[in-house]
Chain A
Amino acid sequence: MRKAQRWNVVWVVPIIAILLGAWLLYDNFAAHGPVAHIHFETAEEIYAGKTEVRCRSVKVGMVKDVKLANDLESVVVTIELHSSSSELLRKGSRFWVVKPRLSAAEISGLGTLIQGSYIELDPGPPKSPLHDSFNGLEKPPATNSSVPGLRIELVTEQAGLLKSGALIYYRGFEVGRIEDRKLSENGEEVIYEAFISAEFSHLVCKNTRFWNTNGIEIDASSQGIMLRTPSLEAMVSGGVSFGRTAGMPVGKDINDGARFTLFSNKESATHSAFNPTLRFLLLFDQSVRGLNTSSSVEFRGIPVGNISRISHDLIDDPSDQRIPVLVEIDPNRLLPEDGTDDATEADIEFFQKEIQRGLRAGLKTTSLVTSSVHIDFDYYPNAAPANLGFAGAHTTFPTVSTGFAQMESQLASLIDKLEGLPIGETFTSVAEASAETKEMAAAARKLMEDPAFKDLPKEFKDTMASIGPRSELQGNITVTLEELRSTLKSLKAVADLLEEKPNAIIFGRGGKDDAEDDAEDEKIVPTIGPKHRN
């Protein structure tokens, strides 16, 4: 007995279920966004279905799959972005894993200890074509490509201590950082890519010089004792400083991509600023003790050139007892820029004129402490008339015998006179004594009127200034101490934070279970997943 076939309303139920299911599935799959593959060296901290992809802290996608690359040398991470974020996948987009990084130069990503690591996406330039295969970065890039600023290249022969991430300073201020370093195409030079943030970009101009500031430098040169201590960071990862040497005019503005030479220290940077095109031979009638080729050549205190050579070879006449010193001068330092770097007739004429007015080259004491001297061009109204001359291939510049040597001889004669004083006879012939005292006084007065003597207190002052309370030395020490203090402060804050909240992760305190200690002795990175065992 078969019941009549009759369509029962209850069949609506499964039909609804099928339709519902189909719609949901369609909706789900249609909402899938673009998929991309990223190659990383390791899949540490990257989990399929859990690790997020973020762009500027906004979640834009998720890791779908993690597998070994075909060559087994790297890992392919497949990510899927929200369909609304598809244009972030451009050629030039960069990916890196944000995870806790602790190093002397960097403490970052600590938030991921709690949340779990994620992949950060930095979209490429806006007009790039869409792309779906990328090589992930192993370390975060120093600056986001969208941050405004100046991007230039620094070129040097040896890489040295300088690493990417090192800071760039201007007068001790942090104004940028080194982003990357690579060898030049011909392998002869090391090129650093540097970033200067926008508010300081105007400080860099055509005549700016860059130099390495890492390491403590103690320099006893014609400038006095220089103790240069960079910041703590710079000592760890190197640092670069820049500036314009005094007297140099602001050059033309420069744009992104400009190349600068990176000098190994400040001196070579300063010296390179010179365009020494004018050469003079100076013949000194006095000892040039304390003068060497790194001594500076100044015009009334302004550096104008270098010493090229000190040698008897420079003059032919062996009977000439004067000491020849060959100096190079950058005429643009003294004269308004005439558009050319070469010495011109106008430059020579200028010097002729000034010589008539008393411009002479002389030796001046740089520092009484180190007894170093330098060459200074100055006006001596009482100087004997002189002219530019010739000696061999060189043009000579008139010199004066200055300061110390003269002072020495005068002091020597004074001491002689003092020694010659018969004390006993003084009591007997006061008149003689007083006459000689008068002579002595006159000699002393003459000594004091000597312009070199007047310079003495000034030189004292200079020396004291170089090590005194307002000096650069003190300033550097203070800056370093300040930075040390603030670094320690922030380290302490981090330590406090860690202690307060996730203390047991790092220090292992607080857990009541002994078995926990084993888990905590492992890496600091979090394990997301049901792997904790008790």
Chain B
Amino acid sequence: MLTWPKPGSHGKSACHFCDTLHDAIALKEGSAARCTRCDAVIYQNRPASLVRASAFSLTALILMVLTHLFPFLTMDVASLSRDLTLMGAANALIEADAPILGTSIILFTIVAPIILAGGILYVCSPLMFGKSPPIARHIAKWIYRTEPWNMVEVFILGVLVSLLKLAKVSEVQFDFGFWAFFGVMLCTAAAIAGIDRGELWDRLEVAEK
């Protein structure tokens, strides 16, 4: 098992909060390296990091597909029935003369998690076998650039808030799309948390040598 970072390396690491310089040390599985000055976590050794990252990101992608096949919720009022889907919400905004809002929904809830989960899967699964896939570094860059823009959980909250607003005028029923998206939220979070950023880059570096 590769204890990370690679033992014997003379790498340094700097705290991203206070810029204090440290020697990178190898960590046991499950422990974290903290800054000596400000106690912020600099890097961690997550157990079974690659496996977890790959598995959860794969699940996230599968669930992402399912999210779009089934509606989130169905509203019934006066024998009119309306379904809510992710693309439906974005489309509605685009058609209602708010294309920027519609596109932003698409970006934050569809494009971002796909890049995130897809990127992690793409990079981590070959790394399990010590191989680095083509353009891995570009993909890895994009993973971490996209991370702050992934708003899946915010959308879930939005659905719940809307639900409460709609429930007083109509009958609302959750459909599988909502639960699938909820799963996407959990799995993407697990995939990101599953592997430390530094570890990912280090493993890439090692695999490409």
Contact = CB atoms under 8 A, between A and B. Distances in A.
Tell me if chains A and B make direct contact, with any CB pair below 8 A.
Answer: yes
Interface of A: 1-4, 8, 10-11, 13-14, 16-18, 20-21, 24-25, 28, 52, 59, 114-116, 528, 530-531, 533
B51 A8 contact: yes
B79 interface: yes
A531 B95 contact: yes
Nearest to B57: A14
Contact of A530 (B48, B95, B187): B95
- Interface size class on chain B is 20 to 34
B80 A115 contact: yes
Contacts of A115: 78-80
Given A3-B1, A114-B78, A530 B69 contact: no
A531 B96 CA distance: 7
Interface in B1-59: 1-2, 48, 51-52, 55-56, 58-59
Contacts of B65: 21
B69 A17 contact: no
Nearest to B130: A2
A13 B59 contact: yes
Contacts of B92: 530
Given A24-B66, A24-B176, A10 B56 contact: yes
Given A24-B176, A530-B96, A11 B56 contact: no
30 contacts: A1-B2, A2-B2, A2-B129, A8-B48, A8-B52, A8-B55, A10-B48, A10-B56, A11-B51, A11-B55, A14-B55, A14-B56, A14-B58, A14-B59, A16-B59, A17-B59, A17-B62, A17-B63, A17-B66, A18-B62, A20-B66, A21-B62, A25-B69, A28-B70, A59-B79, A116-B80, A530-B92, A530-B95, A531-B95, A533-B97
Given A10-B48, A17-B59, 10 more contacts: A8-B48, A10-B51, A10-B56, A17-B183, A20-B66, A21-B62, A24-B66, A24-B69, A115-B79, A115-B80
Contacts of B69: 24-25, 28
Nearest to B51: A8
B97 A13 contact: no
B171 to A, nearest CB: 14
Contacts of A17: 58-59, 62-63, 66, 183
B15 to A, nearest CB: 28
Contacts of A59: 79
Interface in B52-90: 52, 55-56, 58-59, 62-63, 65-66, 69-70, 78-81
A20 B97 CA distance: 38
A528 B80 CA distance: 10
A14 B117 CA distance: 13
Contacts of B176: 24
A24 B80 CA distance: 25
Interface of B: 1-2, 48, 51-52, 55-56, 58-59, 62-63, 65-66, 69-70, 78-81, 92, 95-97, 129-130, 176, 183, 187
Given A8-B48, A10-B51, A115-B78, A3 B2 contact: yes
B173 to A, nearest CB: 15
Contacts of A13: 55-56, 59, 187
B80 to A, nearest CB: 6
A346 B114 CA distance: 104
A1 B26 CA distance: 15
Contacts of A4: 1
A21 B2 CA distance: 35
Contacts of A18: 62
A52 B82 CA distance: 12
A353 B12 CA distance: 143
B154 to A, nearest CB: 22
A14 B51 contact: no
Contacts of B79: 52, 59, 115
Question: Among A8, A14, A21, which residue has the most Cβ atoms of chain B within 10 A?
Answer: A14
A10 B55 contact: yes
Nearest to B88: A530
A2 B96 CA distance: 55
A4 B2 CA distance: 10
A25 to B, nearest CB: 7
Nearest to A12: B55
Contacts of A16: 59
Contacts of B95: 530-531
Nearest to B79: A115
Contacts of B59: 13-14, 16-17
Complex A-B, nearest 10 residue pairs according to Cβ-Cβ distance, in ascending order: A14-B59, A3-B1, A8-B51, A14-B58, A17-B59, A17-B62, A10-B55, A21-B66, A530-B92, A530-B95
Contacts of A528: 80
Nearest to A18: B62
B72 to A, nearest CB: 14
Nearest to A21: B66
A480 B95 CA distance: 53
Nearest to B77: A115
A240 B57 CA distance: 76
